[in-house]
Amino acid sequence: MGENILLHTESLPEFFKEKVHYSITHLKAPVSPEVEYYLVNLLFQFAQSDHFYEVGETGQIEDRALATRYFDAQGLADKAKIPVLKKMGDCALYISGFFADSFFRKAINLKYYIDMGHFAYSSVSTLIPGYSEKILKNLFEELSRKFIVLVDVINDVRDSTELKSDQNLLKLYERWLHTGSERIKAILNEQGVIPNECVKTGFEQ
């Protein structure tokens, strides 16, 4: 997090609440209070457990857990699919935000996780039944529709916007090529780098 402090478990919710709110304000991210609360809760859950994702022997994030969740959902009744797909979306969002640098020049790239997360949350929204669940339905629809924005927020929570080396600048530019993120574009502009829209290959926002 860039914070050289010891955090106790009971202080984590407030810590993430402050960080998420600051990042949303700083980025002028157009998200609802419900989505802001969801992000705080997601970060708190992941800070306490690593069972949502898997790390290989070299320390790289593996897609096994994400693919497993997708296949686990096949053949289930609609109601039973919801928690499986929700965890799939949560996993994709967290990894996209916190481990983006691990994907470059890998077979499984950042766009894969973004697409899978977008699909998972969209599917949850579609599967939630009835008018009485409209708030939840709208929540997951917003999570899906604004997935890139939420990745940016988590990126901002994770680290500062200061670029410490040319290597980091290159990684940031590569990340922009994959995602088309407005936040990353703004950071590159601040550093005197003007991204070329003609070569962008990533996710359409």
Predicted confidence (pLDDT) per residue in 19-54, tens digit: 899 999 989 999 999 999 999 999 888 876 665 666
pLDDT reported for residue 204: 42
106 belongs to a structural domain: yes
Into how many domains does the chain fold?
A: 1
The rounded percent of the chain whose pLDDT value lies above 90 is: 29
Tally Cβ neighbours within 10 Å of residue 126: 15
2 belongs to a structural domain: no
152 belongs to a structural domain: yes
Residue from 172, 171, 179 nearest 200 by CA: 179
Q: What is the pLDDT of residues 150-174, one digit of tens each?
A: 999 998 888 643 444 555 666 677 7
pLDDT reported for residue 51: 59
- 129 pLDDT tier (thresholds 50, 70, 90): confident
pLDDT reported for residue 181: 82
193 belongs to a structural domain: yes
CA distance 44 to 9: 9
pTM across the whole model: 0.71
CA distance 40 to 1: 14
158 belongs to a structural domain: yes
Q: What is the pLDDT of residues 46-101, one digit of tens each?
A: 876 665 666 666 656 666 667 777 787 888 888 889 998 999 999 999 888 887 76
89 belongs to a structural domain: yes
Residue from 153, 190, 194, 156 nearest 176 by CA: 194
1 belongs to a structural domain: no
CA distance 163 to 142: 31
50 belongs to a structural domain: yes
Which range of residues forms the domain containing residue 89?
Answer: 9-199
